[in-house]
Amino acid sequence: MKQLDFLWTLLFMALIGALIGGFTNHLAIKMLFRPHEAKYIGSWRVPFTPGLIPKRRDELARQFGKTVTNYLLTPETFKKKLLTPEMEEKAEKFLQQKLEEHVLHSDKTLNEWLEVAGATAVPEKIERKVVELVDDRLLLVRNKLTTGTVEDLLPEKWRLEAEERIPQITTYILKQSEQYFESDEGKAMFRKLIDDFLASKGTLGSMVNMFFGESESLVGKVQREALKFIAAPGTYNLVNTIILNEWEKLQKRPANELLAGFDWDGLFGSIKGYVKKELAIESRLDKTLQDYWPDGANWTASHITPTLIQFAFGQVDKQLEKSLRKLKIDDMVREQVDSFPVEVLEDLVLGISRREFKMITVLGAVLGGAIGIVQGLIVFATNLT
- Label residue 308 by pLDDT band (50, 70, 90): very high
- Residue 205 is predicted with a pLDDT of 46
Domain count, the chain: 2
* End residue of a domain, out of 224, 242, 258: 258
Buried b (16+ CB within 10 A) or exposed e, 241-278: eeeeeebeeebeeebeeeeeeeeeeeebeeebeeeeee
Does 196 score more than 70 pLDDT? Answer: no
What pLDDT is attached to residue 92? 92
3-state secondary structure of 40: strand
pLDDT over threshold 80, residue 110: yes
The pLDDT assigned to 206 comes to 52
In a domain, 143, yes or no: no
Ordered alpha helix ranges (H), 146-263: 150-153, 156-164, 166-182, 184-200, 203-212, 215-231, 233-252, 255-258
Assess if residue 131 is contained within a domain: no
248 and 165 belong to one structural domain: yes
Give yes or no: residues 237 and 325 share one domain.
no
Q: Mean of the pLDDT values across residues 60-78? A: 76
Residues 6+ apart with CB under 8 A from 373: 10, 13, 14, 17
Instruction: Quote the distance between the C-alpha of residue 132 and its chain's center.
Output: 29
Residues 154 and 247 in one domain: yes
Q: Which of 243, 258, 273 is the C-terminal boundary of a domain? A: 258
Residue 69 has a pLDDT of 77
Q: For the chain, first and last CA: distance in Å? A: 19
21 occurs within a structural domain:
yes
Mean pLDDT, range 56-60, rounded to an integer: 71
126 occurs within a structural domain: no
Q: Look at residue 91 in the predicted model and tell me its pLDDT.
A: 92
Range of the domain at 52: 2-81+318-384
Residue 182 pLDDT class (50, 70, 90 cuts): confident
Cα gap 205→210, rounded to integer Å: 9
Element of type H or E holding 44 = strand 44-45
pLDDT at 93: 93
**What is the structure's pLDDT at 119?**
84
Given this model, what pLDDT does residue 38 score?
A: 67
Residue 45 inside a domain? The answer is yes
Distance of CA 348 to the CA centre of its chain: 49
Average pLDDT of the segment spanning 190-197 = 71
- Looking at residue 32, its pLDDT comes to 67
Residue 41 clears pLDDT 90, i.e. is over it: no
Do 63 and 84 touch, CB atoms closer than 8 A?
no
Using CA atoms, how far apart are residues 35 and 48, in angstroms rounded to an integer?
9
Interval 215-230: pLDDT, tens: 566 677 777 888 888 8
C-alpha angle 17-19-20 in degrees, rounded to nearest 5? 65
Average pLDDT of span 241-264: 84
Range ranked top by mean pLDDT from 41-50, 274-283, 352-361: 274-283
> Is position 132 within any domain?
no
166 Cβ partners below 8 Å, 6+ apart? 240, 243, 244, 247
**Alpha-carbon gap, residue 10 to 16, rounded angstroms:** 10
Burial (CB count <10 Å: 0-12, 13-18, 19+), residue 231: exposed
Q: Count of CB atoms within 10 A of residue 330's CB?
A: 21
Domain boundary among 207, 235, 258: 258
Sign of CA dihedral 221, 225, 226, 231: positive
> Can you spell out the DSSP letters for 234-271?
HHHHHHHHHHHHHHHHHHHSBHHHHTTT--HHHHHHHH
Least confident of 114-128, 151-165, 258-272, 320-334: 320-334
Please indicate, yes or no, whether residues 236 and 336 belong to a single structural domain of this protein.
no
Cα distance between residue 35 and residue 289, in whole Å: 69
Question: Facing residues of 149 across strands?
Answer: 254
Beta bridge pairs of residue 254: 149
- The pTM (predicted TM-score) of the whole model is 0.52
Q: Is the peptide bond before 85 cis (omega within 30 degrees of 0)?
A: no
Apex CA 80: angle with CA 78 and CA 83, to 5°? 75
295 occurs within a structural domain:
no
* 3-state class (DSSP) for residue 109: strand
Pairs from 164-170 (Cβ < 8 Å, separation ≥ 24): 166/240, 166/243, 166/244, 166/247, 167/240, 169/243, 170/236, 170/239, 170/240, 170/243
pLDDT tens column, 8-24: 777 888 888 788 877 88
Average pLDDT, the chain: 79
CA–CA dist 65, 112 (Å, integer): 50
Convert the pLDDT of each residue in 319-357 to its tens digit: 877 877 777 777 777 777 777 676 666 666 666 566 776
> For 128-150, what is each residue's pLDDT tens digit?
898 889 889 888 888 887 888 88
Within a domain: 268: no
